[in-house]
């Protein structure tokens, strides 16, 4: 079997195709983007891709697209400080960012469970502790005991 071409290293192929990023540069661009967007109270955006001098910014919905279009030149000048080879910025709506954010927020929100009743034994314990406590704590403990007696 004769080969006319020698196999090329994977790193060379990835670099040529644009699939390999300079990770420190990528994270630096993302942090600059986040700080810029935080100043303008825009949330949920991220750096999506960096290829051939073109930076793709993904946004969760189209509401922010027009606003980002107007700020594109300012953003480009800030990002060029980290990457002088940056030529343009493309903005694309990625609805999955909105879905991911809502899933995370639902997972964080848990209903608070509050006691509706306090037993009389607990109220009596609060009153007993209030006898030996300093004045501020005594007042709080007596208030709790009184609250439980009103509920009963």
Q: Is 143 helix (H, G, I), strand (E, B) or coil?
A: helix
- Angstrom CA distances, 50 to 26, 55, 137, stand at 8, 5, 60
Axis crossing angle, helix 65-79 with helix 23-39, rounded to the nearest 10: 130
What secondary structure letter does DSSP report for 5? S
pLDDT band at 100 (very low <50, low <70, confident <90, very high): low
Q: Where are the domains of the chain?
A: 12-99, 120-151
- Does position 82 have pLDDT exceeding 60, yes or no? yes
Q: Quick one: what percent of the chain has pLDDT higher than 70?
A: 73
CA distance 97 to 140: 46
- Evaluate whether 94 touches 59 at the Cβ level (below 8 Å): yes
- The tens digit of pLDDT for each residue in 19-68 reads 455 678 888 888 888 898 888 888 888 888 888 888 899 988 888 888 88
Q: What is the DSSP string of 33-74?
A: HHHHHHHTT--S-EEEEEETTEEEEEESSGGGHHHHHHHHHH
Q: Which fold has domain 12-99?
A: GMP Synthetase; Chain A, domain 3 (3.30.300)
How high is the mean pLDDT of the chain? 78
Residue 102 pLDDT? 53
Residue 96 pLDDT? 84
């Amino acid at each position: 079997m004769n080969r006319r071409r020698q196999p090329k290293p994977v790193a060379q192929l990835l670099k040529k195709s644009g699939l390999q990023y300079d990770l420190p540069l990528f994270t630096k661009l993302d942090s600059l983007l986040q700080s810029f967007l935080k100043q303008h109270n825009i949330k949920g955006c991220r750096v999506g891709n960096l290829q051939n001098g073109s930076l793709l910014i993904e946004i969760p919905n189209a509401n922010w697209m027009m606003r980002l279009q107007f700020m594109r030149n300012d953003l480009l000048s800030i990002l060029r400080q980290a990457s002088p080879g940056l030529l343009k910025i493309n903005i694309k709506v990625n609805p999955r960012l909105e879905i991911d954010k809502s899933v995370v927020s639902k997972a964080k929100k848990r209903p608070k469970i509050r006691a509706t009743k306090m037993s009389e034994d607990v109220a009596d314990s609060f009153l007993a502790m209030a006898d030996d406590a300093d004045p501020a704590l005594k007042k709080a403990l007596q208030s709790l005991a009184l609250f439980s007696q009103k509920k009963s």
